[in-house]
Amino acid sequence: MMNNHKRRHCLKLLMLLVTGLLAAIPSLSPADTTPSLLDQIGDKLFHDTNLSGSGQMACSSCHDDNNHYAQPANNTLAVQLGGPNLNLTGNRTVPTLTYKDNTPPYSDQAVNPDGVSLNGPGGGFFWDGRADTLADQAAGPLLNPVEMANKSVADVVNKIQNASYANLFIQAFGPNAFADPQTAFNNAMAAIQQYELEDVSFHPYTSKFDLYASNKIGGDLTDAEYAGYRVYIDPNRGNCDACHYSGPGFNGSQAIFTDFSYEAIGVPRNTKIPANTSKLGLPTAYDLGVCHRADHPPLSNQELCGMFKTPTLRNVATRNVFFHNGVFTSLSQVLQWYNTRDTNPELWYPSAHGVVQKFNDLPNVYRGNIDPQAPLDGRPAGSAPAMKDCELQDLEAFLNTLTDGYAPPAQPVVQADFCAE
């Protein structure tokens, strides 16, 4: 029988082969880190609060540099306040902008990077994939009436033309840089895209997991973290790898813990979102994900309704709200839901007349779209969940290793308890 040390060593070698991390990590010289002119402009645009109807909101207001380009660490709102007076809300949470550099464009028949799963909806930006590039994504909030609330493309360009960095823009795009508003706007979005692609802070690969996967000093996993990784990849327990793929991403990129796919998993309705509740407390509308898009109307795309993008799990432990509607507020709560959605639905969904209203944020007609993969596999109510409580704790310990900015402690970490297999 193989002992634990040998098993761990073999698994680590396998991980190195699968992820290709050693080959993929770039070796940057000082010259490589000099930002391009487009990068510099994109940085200015990303942090400029004047590029909003309120004059108080920048891209960085929701995608905070100090919290892995997700919503600020002290911000616990499920949906953000925006609009001309910062008093309007949408119905979706802020996704992180980290690790987006290798995201392919959206396709209804995208190739899954694991090389095993069938083709299906994948790629793109936003929770519904409606933007094909980072430049397209950047344009969305600027013109959204409940976000940065600019009246038009020309409105945005006029603000850039009067900004302190307008000369940089002219230097990059020529003396007629502002002659055509649409061209100037497109160039501005290209600059934001370049900033997100070029600035290493958007894809730093500085987590404990990265040290472990690249065999670096200080990257040894604790017993609990290692046990959590085994839960993560086990199809009969966490089965996280089925969607939050830990192998190489699109074009052989480093592991980013998503396969870019879209899934319907039936998370509970978040009644704290104003758009979700009428004065009578009854649902007035449903967010159908991909079917919310104008180019994917429900009548002709019923099989895609209720599907939302599978986000990267890198830095997931630093988030305050989870899923597209922010219904959960802690990572441990998310893991408990995955484990007991089917076995104990009464913990998560409301009841009416003694009947649990399961999948209360998805109309009955679309519930056949719900992904049947374990642990969300429809196991009977009252049966045993896929994971024990201690396995959930181990899984959370592993997910914490995906947080960037890890610095090995000066003293060895005291080993936490873990589940024996």
What's the length of the chain? 421
Q: Chain-wide mean pLDDT for the chain?
A: 90
**pLDDT at 256 exceeding the cut of 90:** yes
The one-character DSSP state at 90 is: -
Domain residue extents for the chain: 35-92+127-202, 205-400
Give the number of other CB atoms < 10 A from CB of residue 159: 19
pLDDT digits (tens, 9 = 90+) for 32-68: 578 999 999 999 999 999 999 999 999 999 999 999 9
Q: Which residue has the higher pLDDT, 219 or 190?
A: 190
* Dist. CA 63–CA 98, nearest whole Å: 9
102-111: which pairs have CB atoms within 8 A and are 24 or more residues apart? 102/249, 102/250, 102/251, 102/253, 102/256, 103/250, 103/260, 104/250, 104/260, 105/132, 105/133, 106/130, 106/131, 106/132, 108/304, 110/260, 110/261
Given CA atoms 35, 38, 40, 45 in this order, what sign does their dihedral have?
negative
| 3 confidence band (pLDDT: 50, 70, 90) | very low
Q: Looking at residue 2, what is its pLDDT?
A: 43
pLDDT digits (tens, 9 = 90+) for 359-394: 999 999 999 999 999 999 999 999 999 999 999 999
pLDDT > 90 fraction of the chain, expressed in percent and rounded: 78
Give the number of other CB atoms < 10 A from CB of residue 330: 14
Query: What token pair was written down for 323?
Result: 């899923």
pLDDT digits (tens, 9 = 90+) for 323-341: 999 999 999 999 999 999 9
| 284 confidence band (pLDDT: 50, 70, 90) | low
Q: Looking at residue 364, what is its pLDDT?
A: 94
35: left (phi over 0), alpha (psi -120 to 50) or beta: beta
Q: Looking at residue 10, what is its pLDDT?
A: 46
Answer whether 369's CB lies under 8 Å from 303's CB.
yes
Q: Write the DSSP assignment of 347-405 as a string of letters.
A: GTS-EETTEE-TTTTS-GGGGGGB---TTSS-PPTTS--SS-HHHHHHHHHHHHTT-SS
Average of pLDDT values for 215-231? 90
Q: Looking at residue 32, what is its pLDDT?
A: 58
Q: Which of 185, 278, 248, 290 is nearest to 15 (CA)?
A: 248
Q: Of the ranges 149-163, 168-182, 204-218, 219-233, which one carries the lowest mean pLDDT score?
A: 204-218
pTM: 0.90
* Dist. CA 421–CA 412, nearest whole Å: 24
The one-character DSSP state at 197 is: H
**pLDDT at 134 exceeding the cut of 50:** yes
Answer whether 217's CB lies under 8 Å from 406's CB.
no
Q: Which residue has the higher pLDDT, 3 or 88?
A: 88
Give the number of other CB atoms < 10 A from CB of residue 265: 20
Domains 35-92+127-202 and 205-400 share a fold: yes
| CATH superfamily of the domain spanning 35-92+127-202 | Cytochrome c-like domain (1.10.760.10)
pLDDT digits (tens, 9 = 90+) for 396-418: 999 999 999 999 988 777 666 77
As its CATH architecture, domain 205-400 has Orthogonal Bundle (1.10)
Q: Which of 122, 52, 142, 67 is nearest to 98 (CA)?
A: 67
